A and B are shown apart, each in its own frame.
Chain A
Amino acid sequence: MAEAGPVLDVRNLTMDFGGLRAIDSVSLDIMPGEIVALIGPNGAGKTTFFNCVTGLYTPTSGEILLSARGQRKRLNGLKPNHITALGMARTFQNIRLFPHMTVLENVMIGRHCRTRSSIFGAIFRPPATRQEEAESIEISYGLLKEVGLTALVDETANNLPYGAQRRLEIARAMATEPALLLLDEPAAGMNPSETRELQALILRLREKHDLSILLIEHDMKLVMSLSDRVCVLEYGTQIAQSTPEEVSRDPRVIKAYLGEEADA
């Protein structure tokens, strides 16, 4: 691994909504190739944390630094598409595909920030444009193969079964060539066998694409077996950050979860 420093370096991130402090001085770093899980009871600020990091919200204070694609950048205040171009991609808790586009088109949209062709290219179609398009299709097919959707390339996205939509969302995120992938409850609504397949997929993607992964997940079995490190949030503050084994023995974490047992 060429970069010794963390891929993502979040320092004292704070996010206020009016008088409500949704995230209170949370720090988190993710090393290259690492899988980190962000857990906590509902309303702990996990998705807000994702929204700050991906540029949907501008944090009230704190630093977000991304080292990817050979550069180190401060992300605060950048637009989501700019952050994606810098090497970060995400999926959503409630799936957000482009419902009226085909499976292949959904993945190809992910290629948008890695391709150049302009409106003139689109009209006159010089060889460079055609080559870029061919490459884009090839890469997209490759990703669909990795997530096991090659049989459905021409299907409209909203016709896919639920599990396939989840995998398509991951393929679309991967098409942007991220160094860091953020997964928001990737196993939500999956049965145990689908969850096992998902786990294998995540590990394969990390292996093949030199990927770091930050995930929010409520399925503790998945969290414990997948993550290298776990960060626990409660009411917007970080109450623990350690290996899965240590976190599962931490009395504060146990207390936070016992109060919410029905949810966990």
Chain B
Amino acid sequence: MGRMEYFLEIFFGGLTRGSIYALIALGYTMVYGIIQLINFAHGEIYMIGAFTALIVAGVLGSLGMPGYAILLLTLPIAVIYASAYGFTVEKIAYKPLRSAPRLSPLISAIGMSIFLQNYILLAQTADFLPFPNLLPYFDLPDFVGGILTSSEVTIVITAALVMAGLTSFIKFTRMGKAMRATAQNQRMAMLVGVNVDQVISLTFIIGSALAAIGGVLIASHIGQINFYIGFIAGIKAFTAAVLGGIGSVPGAMLGGLVLGWTESFATGYVSSDYEDVFAFALLVLILIFRPAGILGKADSQKV
């Protein structure tokens, strides 16, 4: 294999990984933008999305359904289930603490994360479970065949479509405008008649849905899951959100991609042992020169 092919293979590997980070990072950044909370339980929502998909796909598979039908049914069910978890977590663990000091909901978030991990550990198993490849397989033209796989193409395209949809939702729709208004000044949004509780719930629902989509895609791609995957992915996606500028939606997308590529190139050209070292060294470097992240706004503090 030539050097160029090797480079491109790593490039697309990083793009795939980065797209997933971006999908999960969006949940962190949107919630932070609206209520200034780091939702540590977000990684667990992603994990629950993947587990739901595993169960649903298992049932449907045993009924002898064709692959694409399994994916088309599994994905929405995982999304709905994970969104219901995200919605409930906010109502139970964060809403009662909304006027409490900022540390309280943060601790509550960590507690929720540990609770959900252990709940899945007890309800399911501690072992890694094989995850069926739900992503469609198709033949790629010869000149790209050695560089990327059909699952990678599916993941990147799906993530891009979802992010484009989210961007236009936030930009153009009535609820999208209400979300932006709430992020800029929650009190004022209330005073012009925005139901802020509803906006916050919607933010959690959308963030959870994106995480579930990411969960199903990556679990299919990697082929195994366990109760702990949410923690690792959550830390990485949180890093991506901070890298891009927490609170910024395009920042989360960019941060995800930058992180994905950094890890991929570090693995490909140095050693897979150094994957995380490079990722976090990059984070430190960026935060030294741009403390608010790549696209973050430094003046976001309200008086």
Which residues of chain A have a CB within 8 Å of any CB of chain B? 54, 56, 79-81, 84-85, 89-90, 92, 96-101, 105, 108-115, 117-119, 122-123, 132-133, 136, 172-173, 175-176
Chain A residues closer than 8 Å to B180, beta-carbon distance = 98, 100-101, 105
Classify chain B: how many residues form its interface, as a range. 20 to 34
Complex Cα distance A54/B193, Å?
Answer: 11
Q: Is the CB of B191 within 8 A of A80?
A: yes
In angstroms, Cα B188 to Cα A84, docked, is 11
User: Closest approach, in angstroms, between the C-beta of A69 and any C-beta of chain B?
Assistant: 13
User: Which residues in B have their C-beta under 8 angstroms from that of A117?
Assistant: 173-175
Q: How far is the CB of A182 from chain B (nearest CB, A)?
A: 10
Judging by beta carbons under 8 Å apart, are B192 and A79 in contact?
no
Contact present for A109 and B177 (CB under 8 Å)? yes
Which residue of chain A lies nearest to B171 when distances are taken between CB atoms in the complex?
A: A105
Q: How far does the alpha carbon of A110 sit from the alpha carbon of B174 in the complex, in Å?
A: 11
A89 CB contacts on chain B under 8 angstroms: 191-192
* Complex: A122 Cα to B205 Cα, angstroms: 15
Is there a chain A Cβ closer than 8 Å to B176's Cβ?
A: yes
- Per the 8 Å Cβ criterion, residues 140-194 of B in contact with A are 169, 173-178, 180-181, 184-185, 187-194
Whether a CB of chain A sits under 8 angstroms from the CB of B196 is yes
Q: How far is the CA of A118 from the CA of B178 in the complex (A)?
A: 12
Beyond A101-B181, A109-B181, whether A84 also contacts B191 by CB under 8 A is yes
* B174 in contact with A122 (CB, 8 Å): yes
Nearest CB in chain B: distance from A81 CB, A: 5
Contact A133 B174 (CB under 8 A): yes
Q: Is the CB of A110 within 8 A of B193?
A: yes
Residue of A nearest to B173 (CB): A122
With contacts defined as CB atoms under 8 Å apart, how many contacts are there between chain A and chain B in the complex?
85
Q: Which residues of A contact B175 (CB under 8 A)?
A: 117-119, 122
Q: Which residues of B contact A101 (CB under 8 A)?
A: 177, 180-181, 184
Answer whether A112 and B194 are a contact pair too, CB < 8 Å, given A119-B175, A122-B173. Answer: yes
- What chain A residues lie within 8 Å of B196 (beta carbons)? 81
Q: Which of A115, A117, A119, A172 has the most CB of B within 10 A?
A: A119
Tell yes or no: B202 within 8 A of A by CB: yes
For the complex, give the distance between the alpha carbons of A113 and B184 in Å: 18
Judging by beta carbons under 8 Å apart, are A122 and B176 in contact? yes
When the two chains form their complex, are residues B189 and A90 in contact, meaning their CB atoms are under 8 A apart?
A: no
**Contacts A96-B188, A101-B181, A101-B184 hold; do A115 and B195 have CB atoms under 8 A apart?**
no
Sample of 22 A–B contacts (CB below 8 Å): A54-B191, A56-B191, A80-B190, A81-B193, A81-B194, A81-B195, A81-B196, A89-B191, A105-B180, A108-B174, A108-B177, A109-B177, A110-B193, A112-B174, A112-B178, A112-B193, A115-B174, A117-B175, A118-B175, A122-B176, A136-B174, A175-B192
Contact A119 B202 (CB under 8 A): yes
> Nearest 5 A-B pairs (CB), nearest first?
A113-B193, A84-B193, A122-B173, A80-B190, A98-B184
Specify which chain A residues have a CB less than 8 angstroms from the CB of B174 in the assembled complex.
Answer: 108, 111-112, 115, 117, 122, 132-133, 136
